[in-house]
Structure 1
């Protein structure tokens, strides 16, 4: 390999990681804003004399977006596996930003009646379609550019950018909350972060349009375009078992992340009695801890193997989640940050494994579609419903710790998935991918 070739690959890799990571950041900045203002949105679009009923309706609308994710995975997966990752990812970020801006511009129930919640649900469905194509695509894009001995570390960009995008949305929410009185915030201030998604999304789109397709996809582009059966058919024909593994692991990923990313602000305010500023502050800190945990876990997975690190992550989450909720329940900002931070460490470790196995268990020709469908089916069932279930569990049992038991249940599911499902996929838990190395691996 010439020095020029090496420089070209390294430069393309840097652009790919930046564009995919920033685009992913934008997607979850948009997607996560909803959770930050869920209590206000619930009152505006689902008014009720019972605050819990309004909140449950708001979380139900949150869950609707997840139900659309498998469909989005199929649509964008087909584009990504036939036309290219870049085209699919550019469309995904544009759709997400447009739908998010639309939420910010939609009139409330008081102004237009039932049309308001109908439109809100419609925008959430469009957000869900976009999110369904985003995570698998950006993970494939980043890891396909990575050297084989650093794939888990490169894969950390995906969950990190999700956490940082969500935290950025929360930070904007915190700034908006602190800069105006409660009446103004509830009247119109909550709309500002949603409207900001427009220009932020255009930045993400610009970056994605400037990048080159991955070498791994380019090597199979012609065969993929001429294949008789669409990627979704071939995914079931060739990749059913790994799809089941990804689905099972994504179940614990969905529950653990969306109890943090979609529920904790409401939990902090409604159950722990924190003010909105303290609730958002604690939430942001937990997301930052989550983000830091991802590359550290990636380094471990590259050093010691995917399977043993995944086993440790599942056990660690099951052991830590109940104490973390007890610590949060002690009251005060400090205890809440400590408890949520402890939870964030293991939720981040769980999340790191997900994009790695989504790439390494499938051939490039079906990778986007197969991984997106398996991943998004789990998130449709358990991601969007996690805040709803947590709210219901507390209302039904009166126990503020009850959501932790829900996490323990799915940590056990994840543990079984890696103990049984991953056995044999990584010979002696090798740190190398199942895919053949490319010239880029030598850079």
Structure 2
């Protein structure tokens, strides 16, 4: 009997489940640590790797590299997703965390433009592309891994710990640069201080690799191996048999990732450069809101086990439509208190999406294509609408002079997200799809 067969796992299963969650979450933590670091030191990265130019152009160039790296995520998902459905989740997750943390670590070692000229931004781009490629197999595999270990009645609760890892990683990735920015001079940050956060990714990745190397594969995948039902071509099986559900997943991810990369990645630069809010008034509210979301994330995941995933997703989309403009108005007032209040409104909207996320999307597909479906659908949508969000927001704020553009962009994403949420089938409390079960029979 696996953990998914009963609402109350045995002590041995409970121990294995906790280790599985920790090993999966630390990869997500490492991924979002990198995003947090890059967002918070984007100004310094721009100055280090691009020629002397207008500071705004340097920052835009740094976010351009951030966005371009996301073009590799779909390729990574096309490689790692089907591979995870053929050779197992555990092996692929060990590879992705090694590549992901290693590429982030290398950025901290790269010489700048003044030392090697045009090679500097080229090497930066290559590191970001390797990071994006490996990330293409990370989140989908981690969510699949937890979903296949978790009990059916508590999948939302256990899956939410993956997003707790996301927020922990982003919070840590924001905290380290914040301490450095507030304690070092601008000259020291420009010269060497910005490198420290990237170098920390090395030890984080080593811990994650150790944890993942000690785990066995999921009960669902081992059963697939035992019954000889592993798909020879998971990608073909996915596209032929589950393309409609794949499109629904991609539509849901639009709202999630525009929210993720607007709130968690772009906002620090937006506050500092567009609104010219002081470092303390900008950085501390962001950290407090991240902490608030960390407190709420697992209760929200548990709530989705009781009331369902769809009600929370719909509530999040509607909250974004109603509360985003007032949130940005509060932020625009410029004080630390109003900035916190505005960011808190956005955080309350967003936590309703990410709390049930890791439990919802893997349950939409059978075991034989689950890793590929999540990885490909999630990362294609993310590369188009998530990773580009900081660049698009920064560009159009500069082009239009309208500081409320990010609010309109987020509201538009929420409006689009309502449609796939209405079309998705409720999966709360249900067993994961069996590979012999026709898709249309799912309630």
TM-score, reference length from structure 1: 0.93
State yes or no: 1:285 paired with 2:300: no
Q: For residue 68 of structure 1, what is the aligned residue in structure 2?
A: 72
Q: CA deviation at 1:225?
A: 7.4
CA distance in 2, matches of 1:416, 1:244: 11
Q: Deviations over 1:324-374 (max 9, x none)?
A: 100001111111111111101111212234322321100011101111101
Q: For residue 277 of structure 2, what is the aligned residue in structure 1?
A: 274
Q: For residue 383 of structure 1, what is the aligned residue in structure 2?
A: 386
Q: CA deviation at 1:293?
A: 3.4
Q: What is the number of residues matched between the two proteins?
A: 431
Which piece of structure 1 moves more, 345-354 or 195-204?
345-354
State yes or no: 1:99 paired with 2:97: no
CA distance in 1, matches of 2:376, 2:24: 20
Q: CA deviation at 1:212?
A: 1.7
Which piece of structure 1 moves more, 261-270 or 50-59?
50-59
Which piece of structure 1 moves more, 251-260 or 354-363?
354-363
Q: For residue 112 of structure 1, what is the aligned residue in structure 2?
A: 116
Matches within 5 A, 1:169-184: 169-184=173-188
What is the RMSD computed on CA atoms of the aligned residues? 2.1
Q: For residue 399 of structure 1, what is the aligned residue in structure 2?
A: 402
Contact 1:293 1:349 in 2 (8 A): no
CA distance in 2, matches of 1:161, 1:226: 30
Contact 2:85 2:231 in 1 (8 A): no
Q: CA deviation at 1:269?
A: 0.5
Contact 1:65 1:127 in 2 (8 A): yes
Q: Tell me the SS of whatever aligns to 1:105.
A: coil
Q: For residue 349 of structure 2, what is the aligned residue in structure 1?
A: 346
Matches within 5 A, 1:314-353: 314-353=317-356
CA distance in 2, matches of 1:433, 1:418: 20
CA distance in 1, matches of 2:229, 2:35: 32
Q: For residue 35 of structure 1, what is the aligned residue in structure 2?
A: 39
CA distance in 1, matches of 2:432, 2:42: 42
Give the counterpart of 2:85 among 81, 88, 91. 81
Give the counterpart of 1:139 among 143, 148, 165. 143
CA distance in 2, matches of 1:165, 1:116: 27
CA distance in 2, matches of 1:84, 1:224: 13
Q: Tell me the SS of whatever aligns to 2:12.
A: helix
CA distance in 1, matches of 2:251, 2:231: 29
Specify every segment of 5 or more residues in structure 2 that has no aligned partner in the other structure, as ranges: 3-8, 435-443
Which piece of structure 1 moves more, 303-312 or 243-252?
303-312
Q: For residue 441 of structure 1, what is the aligned residue in structure 2?
A: none
Distance 1:13 1:171, change over 3 A: same
Q: Tell me the SS of whatever aligns to 1:47.
A: coil
Contact 1:24 1:134 in 2 (8 A): yes
Q: For residue 314 of structure 2, what is the aligned residue in structure 1?
A: 311
CA distance in 1, matches of 2:237, 2:34: 32
State yes or no: 1:411 paired with 2:414: yes
Q: CA deviation at 1:434?
A: 4.7
Distance 1:317 1:433, change over 3 A: farther
Contact 1:293 1:346 in 2 (8 A): no
